[in-house]
A and B are shown apart, each in its own frame.
Chain A
Amino acid sequence: MTAVLEVESLTRNFGGLRAVDEVTFSLRRGTVLGLIGPNGAGKSTVVNLVTGHLAPTRGRVRVGGRDVTGAPPWKLVRAGVARTFQVVRPFEDLTVLDNVAVSAMYAAGFPARAARTTARRLLEQVGLATRAGDPAGQLGVADSRRLELARALATHPRVLVLDEILGGLAQREIAAGVDLLAALREQGIAILLVEHHMGAVRALCDRVIMLERGRPLTSGPPAEVLSDRRVVRAYLGARHPGTAP
């Protein structure tokens, strides 16, 4: 079976800084790939490169075998690559329901009424149904993350690219988040998981790539990568693993 997302020799410079350096991976349906590394390692830049927010200096991005390198975000999301933001960015003055419905209309192509039905179902799924009529700007941190996820799901994605979606959440909320993501994986959605919480990485990922200064330092099954001496040292050197930014 072919990969839904393939990334080949992805490289991105910012002036003299090489933020992402020769990153290659592929992601199959129903699998989770973890992307870890200290702050500034280039994880969010990889996210921006595979979702069309940045054009790579070099390298290719393919979705379902089709080359989408350099395509704008709205085209990528229509092709099936949805993302969440590390710092949540809801449409603050729109209702929670409309935040999700607009994705269903424009990314998944639903007419208005069907989009709202889908949006309600997704709000139920992420546990936000009771807030459907509230302005999204009123949500707290955890609920904002749920909304990010619902909005991404409403695009009807083949690939979910999640940038530290569990960051800043309490232990209980992280457990709920992990369950939710595991259920999505079971549905066949592929997930690129950028995450600092090692418990979540261990529980969800089939494979993990460790980035350091833009370069893949090591990759493999989570148990292997997380016990790698270089990984432990890189993490302890920069920050304590398991804490969120």
Chain B
Amino acid sequence: MPSPAVAGTGAATTAGAATPAPGTRPGARRWAAWAAYVVVIPVLLYLTPHVYNNQLLLLNLVVYLVLAQGVNVIYGFTGYLPFGYVGFFGAGAYGTSMAVIHLHTGGTVAVLIGAVVSTAMAVVLLPLLRLTGAYFALASLAASQAVYLVIANPSLTSFTKGPYGVDLSRVFNPNLAYLYAAILLAVATAVVVYLRNSAFGLSLRAVRADPLTASVAGINVARARGIAWLASAVLAGLAGGISAWVTSVFYPETVFAINISVFAIVFALFGGVGSVLGPVFGGIILYSLYEYIGVSSPQYFQFAYGLLIVILMLFLPGGLASVARAARSLWERTGGRVHRRA
């Protein structure tokens, strides 16, 4: 095959969109902004216990922000809505617990083993990606509940402690766990930054827009989706492991609650999937709301957030991030410099 001529043309200077599309190389200033998002928010959250003395609540928040970013990775970039996302969280929690209980590891190693377990589960569930739309959402939910039923099965009590729950108080170390959670949030956000700016992220958006066209563009569609799926599972597994480590004493239904999926999804959708910061802000807002209003009557919130998912998908699929983008372009058109489309 002859090598194609790569000739620069005059057109090269004409492309100057306000926001670079995914896959473009952002300038140094934009990289600095991305780096700040990745680092500053987790650092602020890490320091918050010094002013707001409820580390456990904050840890739960950070764990949810990680899960929201995980949903962002799989739903925002591939279009697969993972109602069974909690399955990876629970698998991570139980993988961590089994490591502590049976392998007598410390917390750090246990959390990593938990992530390996959730990743293994994601590998087994790769065929689910052949389903689409609601079928995928339901099948992933069914898969997560199947794992739950196996773990909670009384006949496995000697290994999983069955329905009686686990006790990890031997390795209890909330400060270290909180540090890990903050680092994990930075990693999750970095993953989204990568997807927003890399060729791979662009290929995922292409697959999401039209898998058939993506295949004739040379993209191995199954592989691209699979990588996003595994990445989101690793994030959830680590989040589950850290959460288990801090919760210390819990039951299968604690870490396999469908609510965990619902919350992660609504936080991501509300903030805006496909964006870097949307799920973080969406999570902070809705989780705070839940903690201050909803704790007394959580069942209403579970219903309200489930309903909110439907409303957002129907009427505001881009979430807060799309509102912010619209506001900014309005501002530029009216207040800022005149902005004309070619």
A residues lining the B interface (CB < 8 Å): 51, 53, 72-74, 77-78, 80, 82-83, 85, 89-95, 97-99, 101-103, 105-108, 110-118, 120-121, 123-124, 129-134, 151-152, 154-156, 158, 188
Contact = CB atoms under 8 A, between A and B. Distances in A.
B6 to A, nearest CB: 5
A152 B212 CA distance: 13
B12 interface: yes
Contacts of B28: none
A89 B207 CA distance: 12
Nearest to B16: A133
B217 A151 contact: yes
Interface string B182-225: 00000000000000001100110110011011111111110000
Contacts of B103: none
B15 A94 contact: no
A108 B199 CA distance: 13
16 contacts: A74-B216, A82-B216, A90-B213, A91-B206, A102-B23, A102-B202, A103-B218, A105-B23, A105-B218, A106-B218, A106-B219, A112-B24, A112-B199, A132-B14, A134-B341, A152-B216
Given A112-B23, A132-B14, A133-B17, A89 B213 contact: yes
B106 to A, nearest CB: 41
Nearest to A100: B217
A94 B206 contact: yes
B170 interface: no
Contacts of B16: 133
A73 B221 CA distance: 10
Contact of B342 (A103, A116, A130, A151): A130
A95 B21 contact: yes
A74 B215 CA distance: 5
Interface of B: 1-2, 4-9, 11-12, 14-17, 21-25, 198-199, 202-203, 205-206, 209-210, 212-221, 341-342
B205 A94 contact: yes
Q: Which 6 A-B pairs have the closest CB atoms?
A: A107-B218, A106-B218, A91-B209, A73-B215, A103-B217, A129-B11
A77 to B, nearest CB: 5
B78 to A, nearest CB: 14
Binding site secondary structure of chain B: loop
B6 A51 contact: no
Nearest to A148: B213
A124 to B, nearest CB: 5
A120 B205 contact: no
Contacts of B216: 51, 73-74, 77, 82-83, 151-152, 155
A130 B14 CA distance: 8
B4 A156 contact: yes
A121 B23 contact: no
Given A91-B210, A93-B209, A130-B342, A72 B203 contact: no
Given A102-B202, A129-B14, A132-B15, A121 B217 contact: no
A98 B342 CA distance: 17
A219 B13 CA distance: 48
Contacts of A105: 23, 199, 202-203, 218
Contacts of B217: 74, 77, 102-103, 106-107, 151, 154-155
Contacts of B219: 74, 102, 106
Contacts of B215: 72-74, 77
Contact of A98 (B4, B6, B202): B202
A117 B6 contact: yes
Contacts of A83: 216
Contact of A118 (B1, B4, B14, B25): B4
B209 A74 contact: no
Contacts of A154: 217
Nearest to B202: A102
A108 B198 CA distance: 17
> Counting chain B CB atoms within 10 Å of each CB, which of A120, A129, A130 scores highest?
A120
B209 A95 contact: no
A125 to B, nearest CB: 9
A74 B9 contact: no
